[in-house]
Structure 1
Amino acid sequence: MFGPKAMRGFFGGRHGPGFGHGPRRGRMFEKGDLKYVILDLLKDEPSHGYEVIRKLEERSRGFYSPSPGSVYPTLQLLEDMGYVSATQRDGKKVYAITDEGRKFLDENQRSIKDIWGKFGGGWDPEVASEIHEIRHDLMDLGKLFGQKMREGNVDRDKLARIRSVISTAAREIEDILREREDPGTTSV
């Protein structure tokens, strides 16, 4: 589960360090789900594309940051469908949900709730905070590793020791995570 190859996502995959980037086994959203999420974010106040990205990152507690290449085409699709309208404000296109968009949201509340549930909507706030801290610890470690690699301060011996530490930590993390699955254990 957490072998050295899996750790690539922690240490800087395709789009940088952290969960949600780099190699992954599944999609964050099923095809078409992003439109529900964006509409749900726009129901409270109009926003431009960057604000939608930022709000989604906040709402997902930092676990997902959509690319502009997925958000802007979805906003355009929603506009074409009549679910949002766009106006220019301070040189930016600002999107607001329409009555038709609100109706669509109301008709799809169950889907929206299920989608937000993927982001731990039911987690206890302390658990969510701890997950967020672990994620940032991994990101910081990935940044340090990348910085030292760029500086050339890592030789073969250090790399072997680092890999050994990561492998040991990964096995221990797997054991901890399996404790919850094993009915014979009482922790976690």
Structure 2
Amino acid sequence: MQDLEARSGGVWRPSPGSVYPALAQLEDEGLVRAVEHGGRKQFELTDEGRAHVEEHRERFGTPWETVGEGVPSELHELRHAGQALAVASMQVAQTGTKAQLGEARRILEDARRGLYRLLAGDEPSGDEDAQE
């Protein structure tokens, strides 16, 4: 899943709920098999799976390359900013004081409200607390 996300430039982030059922089906069909590598389960194509891919290569294409086509660079930048915010939030959650936790929650709530105002087309007034 991390490999797919990296190959797609962060645009395609499949969830375990979509990946594992698909892998189970491919395994049932004999196209992939689970192997143990360093205590982790990984999947690889079987000979039948390789033949199937070669037979349908043109139809399959390279999904992680096409999924990001036409996606503006601003979306990637927004995704990275959101990830950096999540990391900072977790650091406060792990090491912050009670007061810092409360202030961090307020900051995140303000950011969430600001994003919804942005989508609604509201102009920022500079005094956000007065509107609530």
| Shorter-chain TM band | 0.5 to 0.7
Mapping of residues 78-93 of structure 1, within 5 Å: 78-93=26-41
CA deviation after TM superposition for structure 1 residue 78, in Å: 1.2
Aligned residues: 112
Q: From the superposition, tell whether residues 104 and 168 of structure 1 become closer, same or farther in structure 2 (CA, over 3 Å).
A: same
Counterpart code for 1:62: G
Unaligned residue ranges in structure 1 (runs of 5+) = 1-52, 173-188
The percentage of counterpart residues that share the same residue type is 35
User: For 1:89 and 1:56, how far apart are their aligned partners in 2?
Assistant: 19
Counterpart code for 2:102: G
SS at match of 2:41: strand
CA contact (8 A) 2:12 2:64 kept: no
User: For 2:23 and 2:33, how far apart are their aligned partners in 1?
Assistant: 9
SS at match of 1:86: strand
SS at match of 1:101: helix
Task: Give the alignment partner of residue 133 of structure 1, picking from 77, 93, 103.
Answer: 77
| Alignment RMSD | 4.0
Pick the structure with greater CA Rg: 2
Per-residue CA deviation, residues 65-98 of structure 1 (Å, 9 max, x unaligned), is: 2233332232222111111123333333332212
User: For 1:91 and 1:138, how far apart are their aligned partners in 2?
Assistant: 32
TM-score by length of 2: 0.55
Counterpart code for 2:81: D
Task: Give the alignment partner of residue 96 of structure 1, picking from 44, 52, 58.
Answer: 44
TM-score by length of 1: 0.42
Q: From the superposition, tell whether residues 170 and 62 of structure 1 become closer, same or farther in structure 2 (CA, over 3 Å).
A: farther
Counterpart code for 2:45: I
Q: From the superposition, tell whether residues 139 and 151 of structure 1 become closer, same or farther in structure 2 (CA, over 3 Å).
A: same
Higher helix proportion, which one? 2
What's 1:151 paired with? 101
CA deviation after TM superposition for structure 1 residue 162, in Å: 7.3
User: For 1:170 and 1:117, how far apart are their aligned partners in 2?
Assistant: 33
Unaligned residue ranges in structure 2 (runs of 5+) = 94-99, 123-132
Higher relative contact order (CA 8 A, sep 6+): 1
